[in-house]
Amino acid sequence: MAWEAAKPLQVFSNKRMVRYALAQINATVGDLEGNAERILAAIGQSRLSSADLVVLPELALTGYPPEDLLLKPGFHDACEKVFGELVEQIEQRTLIGCPLREGDGRLYNAAVLVEDRRVSAVYRKVLLPNYSVFDEKRYFSRGMKGLLLEMPGQTVGIQICEDAWDPAGPARDEAAAGAQVIANLSASPFSSQKQERREETFARLCKDNNVWFVYCNLVGGQDGLVFDGGSMVVAPSGEVVARAKEFEADLLLVDIPELPKKESREIENARPVDRCSARVATEPEAEEKKPLETRATEETSLLEQTYRALVLGVGDYVRKNGFTGVVIGLSGGIDSALTAAVAVDALGSENVLGVTMPSRFSSSEIRSDVDRLVESLGIRLHTFPIEETLDKFRQLLEPVFASLEEDPENLTDQNLQARIRAVYLMALSNRLGLLVLNTSNKSETAVGYGTLYGDMIGGYAAIQDVFKTQVWALSRYVNEKHAREIIPESTIERVPTAELRPEQKDSDSIPEYSLLDPILKMYVEEDRSYEEIITAGHDAATVRKAIRLVDRNEFKRRQAVPGVRVTPKAFGKDRRLPITNRFRQWHRGATDE
């Protein structure tokens, strides 16, 4: 989509403040018409508030990330059609993120300036991330220039997401060319402590370049990613002076005082910077804007951020994929209890169905905890005992198994129980149109402590990126948040067990979670070596066992359901390792056991 830049109109202004509207919308990938409606609604709200510049998130038209939709010519045809219709309805000065296909076939991640029903200028993203969950070099060509928008009272440099994270990025070039404000269109996904890293990065950018920073971030769930919003404005001092809501759509209005013009200066290895002038005319006699009301900035803990990310991720995945609700297998354990609490906060109790499937190994205490959880959450419950079905399987398999050696742990029988339960859940899913929510946590997923086609089944995993020790902390947070016992205290305090054989404990098969989780964090999330983990003070035998379990269960994780990402490195796109892999992380000669 190549546009001819429109000629600027003469602009008059007697306003002392420049008003920015940061419209963090919840876009859905591929929903071009729906996203266009969300964009127009945000612009309409901004117009009522007399905003001088509306800023929308990165790729707001398509949603982020569109992935291989960007390889389909028909997708770009549709984008151009919808965007063309959108432009014809926009008079207010607006920056919109969208893909830009040019005549030579190159594709750019672009920020398009629209005003007076015309395209005035286009900025092409310069720094393309190609790490973690990002694959932008697979799709986009790199922009080579900065862009300045000269408005009455301020000169604004325009950039997109990653451009702000490199000290030698476009902000440096635009500030040297005279920018007083940097406007950044972003689609930055949530992970633990991400907001703190953003603020530190943007504060440094502002101080180094003596600029204001206007940052508009996407919000909403997209497959495993959760975009947390939190759009903000940062002063040249590095102070965050305004912040939008987290984990929900919002419109943040901020006034920045009219600034004295900056002289351009020469810097080494500077990129070229294009300029455009604002088009929309303002009458000289226009009244000054009414002052904005002060908005309080809420401080949120990491636990609250993580929980809200889980709720948003689950809710958007279910809604955006057209399901009416979810079904959850309730074991009486803490993982399924936390998953149910997340689902109720995401979808409402009327859209959550619990299913308990007891066996002869299910204790009366655990069954009682299921009843208490169901009552506190206000959800429906179905009960399907599995013992009779399990006995039938045993009878049918006995002729084959009778001649084989004894299985001391009876793993086949344990896995049969898990798979019978999966059959019940999937039958209810098919018949009732409900999505099965998987309840596996990150610790279990890491070491393969789960049954393929059994407790690993589902359409989406609520807590797959949450370590077991965090599951306990989040469960206590749920009770504190509601100021009552939602998740039974006995569930939180109980020693973890799969209840697939008599007196079973998780620690019979894997290290205690208090020992395991710190090792997994270092090995999985930080890519630390065996030697480094030992040096950090962890027991060598426990480290070897944990690493061996992680490495040998890649085949299970490759088949696991997608889930909400809340850490800097989740399983899936973040961590891509071969299934067939003979590399070992410890010294030659050391035992694997």
CA distance 470 to 188: 23
pLDDT in tens, 325-382: 999 999 999 999 999 999 999 999 999 999 999 988 888 898 999 999 999 999 999 9
Between 307 and 278, the higher pLDDT residue: 307
**Over residues 128-136, mean pLDDT:** 94
Chain centre to alpha carbon of residue 239: 26
Whether 588 shows a pLDDT value over 70: the answer reads no
Residues 561, 223: contact at Cβ < 8 Å?
Answer: no
% of the chain exceeding 90 in pLDDT: 80
Arithmetic mean of pLDDT over the chain = 91
Q: What is the pLDDT of residue 581?
A: 87
Q: What is the pLDDT of residue 3?
A: 36
The H or E element that residue 537 is part of is none
**Over residues 488-515, mean pLDDT:** 88
DSSP letter assigned to residue 512: -
Residues 182, 211: contact at Cβ < 8 Å?
Answer: yes
> ∠ at Cα 31 (27, 36), nearest 5°?
70
Q: What CATH number does the domain located at 17-277 have?
A: 3.60.110.10
Phi-psi region for residue 489, left (φ > 0), alpha (ψ -120 to 50) or beta? alpha
* CATH 3.60.110.10 domain position(s) in the chain: 17-277
Between 220 and 258, the higher pLDDT residue: 220
State phi, psi for 123 to the nearest 5 degrees: -110, 135
Q: Kindly indicate the confidence band of residue 5, based on its pLDDT and cuts at 50, 70 and 90.
A: very low
Q: Kindly indicate the confidence band of residue 4, based on its pLDDT and cuts at 50, 70 and 90.
A: very low
Q: What is the pLDDT of residue 242?
A: 94
Lowest mean pLDDT among 53-62, 77-86, 271-280: 271-280
SS3 123: strand
**Over residues 488-514, mean pLDDT:** 87
DSSP letter assigned to residue 557: H
**Over residues 57-70, mean pLDDT:** 97
* CATH 3.40.50.620 domain position(s) in the chain: 302-506
User: Catalytic residue positions?
Assistant: 58, 125, 161
Q: Kindly indicate the confidence band of residue 291, based on its pLDDT and cuts at 50, 70 and 90.
A: confident
pLDDT in tens, 414-465: 999 999 999 999 999 999 999 999 999 999 999 999 999 999 999 999 999 9
Q: What is the pLDDT of residue 570?
A: 94
pLDDT in tens, 569-585: 999 888 888 888 888 76
Whether 141 shows a pLDDT value over 80: the answer reads yes
Q: What is the pLDDT of residue 288?
A: 62
Phi-psi region for residue 223, left (φ > 0), alpha (ψ -120 to 50) or beta? left
Topology adopted by domain 302-506? Rossmann fold (3.40.50)
Q: How far is CA 342 from CA 245, 352, 366, 418, in A?
A: 20, 10, 20, 23
The residue with tokens 């370049």 is 209
Residues 250, 24: contact at Cβ < 8 Å?
Answer: yes
CA distance 154 to 380: 57
How many C-beta atoms surround the C-beta of residue 81 within 10 A? 13
pLDDT in tens, 204-251: 999 999 999 999 999 999 999 999 999 999 999 999 999 999 999 999
SS3 192: coil
Q: What is the pLDDT of residue 14?
A: 40
- Whether the model clears a pTM of 0.75, i.e. scores above it, the answer is yes
Residues 6+ apart with CB under 8 A from 567: 191, 192, 442, 465, 525
